[in-house]
Chain A
Amino acid sequence: MPILKTEAIVLRVIDYSETSLVAWSLTREHGRLHVIAKGARRPRSPFEGALEPLVRGELVFYRKKKASDALEIAKEFDPIDRHSGLRSDLARVHRGLYLAELALELSEREDPAPEAFDALARGLHDLASGPTSALDAALVAAELGLLAAAGLSPLLEGCARCTAGAANVSGVVFSAAAGGLLCDRHAQGDPAARPVSAGTLKSLAALQQGTAVALRDGVQRDLRALLDAFVRHHLGKSLRLSRYLGAQRPVRHRPRRSPRGAHA
């Protein structure tokens, strides 16, 4: 069995036995890679406790000769960036996991994914180290990058159903089913068409082109709804983490029975 080395971002990990893990990761050269890491749950293992979701590192593994559904055998995993900042608050954790879930769904085994890898790496870096106010823009930028790498970029210039150019598109109707904006004629016959504000469209276009923008609350909510519908249409299901991307639900505060320290 040849030994290969590749940079990988861990997407999902499950316990396999008392001491072993199975990990799904995204790589540039091999697309989605499934490995078993024997002994990874032991305190002193060559995986250094780093084989965890959202960690980027260098993975050394034995390549199986055949059987594409078999697990490759991981030998070492040397972390390059643990994205520790992601673990500092729930908003970052949930956005990071959302990207991991999306990458799991959009990637294929043995299908090189350099663009998806770079979009995910950049997104996780921004989520881990960026200011709280920029988290949603970082998420949407990375999400659009992953979608584009899978050939699913929303069409924002001209009608997605016909050859009508930008001049014939009012720019206010988006259809997840059509994959982008619709001209006035096609917007009328599409039940999935939804109005989009000019601000949302402008932000979406800017983020799609890699331009940093600040998202106001209303725009952020519209963008989220639009992308949720888009992802749901193309995957045929909602992502588990999509429910966790809104504002953190405020915890209902009921006071304790008596002031602290009041007991004898």
Chain B
Amino acid sequence: MYGEAVERLIREFKRLPGIGQRTAERLTFHIVQGSEREGLALADAIRAVKEKARPCAECFTVSERSPCEICSDPRRDPRVLCVVERPTDVLAMEKSGGYKGRYHVLLGAVNLLEGVEPHDLTIDALAERVRQDDRIEEVILATNPTFDGDATALHLRAALEPLGVRMTRLARGLPAGGSLEFASKAILAEALEGRRDYQERRRPS
């Protein structure tokens, strides 16, 4: 109806996650009606990403360099390795500003009912990395606090336990700034389960 080029762009947009026919049409007509410069800049950006962005050979996050900026930064603490499910989780952790170690990206989570098995992820590469790099003292299992994330953490534990490295799991429970009154049953139950000692730490005089 609109011509082959327009129909093709609608089809391509529809292949993206979360985009249906109407959104694909809206995006397409935004580009059709916008300036040539804007449209071609988008096409160039997509081409550049596909040509340059690669998984880092060490941590598997997306980067234009391998090793990536974080893996090759000498200021990052080599003793701590944070294991996350996706490259976007690295971004989230970096935004927190509270973590100075390195990362390992699994590229997904184990979901056996959907056919995603442990060997589909980078768990073997992680075990090999920990085995080879004797500077790593702690591995933080920062998979999502979901059923799949917990199952993935169990697979990680099985793979890393024989290597004798210290493993920790991100705390879960009440959000900072929240209140008990509005917390869900699940969050409260997890906060109770993960409660910590609160004695005053006495410093040596």
A and B, one complex? yes
Q: Are B163 and A49 in contact (CB under 8 A)?
A: no
Q: Which of B17, B112, B154 contacts A87 (CB 8 A)?
A: B154
Q: Which of A49, A52, A94, A263 contacts B184 (CB 8 A)?
A: A49
Q: Are B134 and A256 in contact (CB under 8 A)?
A: yes
Q: Are A260 and B184 in contact (CB under 8 A)?
A: no
A100–B114 alpha-carbon span in the complex (Å): 12
Q: Are B147 and A251 in contact (CB under 8 A)?
A: no
Q: Are A260 and B164 in contact (CB under 8 A)?
A: yes
Mark out the residues of chain A between 20 and 72 whose CB falls within 8 Å of any chain B CB in the assembled complex: 43, 48-50, 52-54
Chain B nearest CB from A123 CB (Å) reads 16
Assuming A18-B18, A48-B184, A53-B113, is B134 touching A257 (CB within 8 A)? yes
Q: Are B186 and A79 in contact (CB under 8 A)?
A: yes
A84–B150 alpha-carbon span in the complex (Å): 10
Q: Are A87 and B147 in contact (CB under 8 A)?
A: yes
Find the B residue at minimum CB distance from A50: B186
Q: Are B137 and A253 in contact (CB under 8 A)?
A: no
Secondary structure at the B interface, as helix, strand, loop or mixed, is helix
21 cross-chain CB contacts under 8 A: A12-B113, A49-B187, A50-B186, A53-B147, A87-B150, A89-B154, A90-B155, A90-B158, A93-B151, A93-B154, A97-B112, A97-B113, A100-B113, A101-B113, A248-B158, A251-B159, A260-B134, A260-B137, A260-B164, A261-B137, A263-B135
A255–B130 alpha-carbon span in the complex (Å): 10
Q: Are A49 and B186 in contact (CB under 8 A)?
A: yes
Mark out the residues of chain B between 166 and 186 whose CB falls within 8 Å of any chain A CB in the assembled complex: 175, 184-186
B131 within 8 A of A: yes
A251–B186 alpha-carbon span in the complex (Å): 33
Q: Produce 1/0 per residue, A152-176, CB < 8 A to B.
A: 0000000000000000000000000
Assuming A53-B113, A101-B113, A240-B113, is B134 touching A87 (CB within 8 A)? no
B165 within 8 A of A: yes
A142–B165 alpha-carbon span in the complex (Å): 38
B146 within 8 A of A: yes
Known: A49-B146, A256-B134, A257-B131. 10 other contacts (CB 8 A): A49-B145, A52-B147, A79-B185, A82-B189, A84-B189, A87-B147, A87-B151, A241-B113, A253-B163, A260-B164
Count residues of chain B with CB under 8 A from any CB of chain A: 33
A202–B146 alpha-carbon span in the complex (Å): 40
**Chain B residues within 8 Å of A93, by CB:** 150-151, 154
Q: Produce 1/0 per residue, B130-155, CB < 8 A to A.
A: 11101101000000011100110011
Q: Are B165 and A260 in contact (CB under 8 A)?
A: yes
Q: Are A17 and B18 in contact (CB under 8 A)?
A: yes
Chain B nearest CB from A14 CB (Å) reads 7
Of listed A54, A100, A254, residue having the most chain B CB within 10 A: A254
Find the A residue at minimum CB distance from B166: A260
**Chain A residues within 8 Å of B7, by CB:** none
A12–B137 alpha-carbon span in the complex (Å): 37
Chain A nearest CB from B131 CB (Å) reads 5
Mark out the residues of chain A between 211 and 231 whose CB falls within 8 Å of any chain B CB in the assembled complex: none
Chain A nearest CB from B151 CB (Å) reads 5
**Chain B residues within 8 Å of A262, by CB:** 134
**Chain B residues within 8 Å of A18, by CB:** 18
Q: Which of A17, A82, A251, A257 contacts B161 (CB 8 A)?
A: A251
Assuming A48-B185, A240-B112, is B131 touching A256 (CB within 8 A)? yes
Q: Are B155 and A241 in contact (CB under 8 A)?
A: no
Assuming A14-B114, A48-B184, is B154 touching A256 (CB within 8 A)? no
B115 within 8 A of A: yes
A248–B165 alpha-carbon span in the complex (Å): 20
**Chain A residues within 8 Å of B184, by CB:** 48-50
Assuming A97-B113, A254-B131, A256-B130, is B151 touching A48 (CB within 8 A)? no
A240–B184 alpha-carbon span in the complex (Å): 34
**Chain B residues within 8 Å of A54, by CB:** 147
**Chain A residues within 8 Å of B132, by CB:** 256-257
**Chain A residues within 8 Å of B137, by CB:** 260-261
A203–B134 alpha-carbon span in the complex (Å): 49
Find the A residue at minimum CB distance from B18: A17
Q: Are A263 and B134 in contact (CB under 8 A)?
A: yes
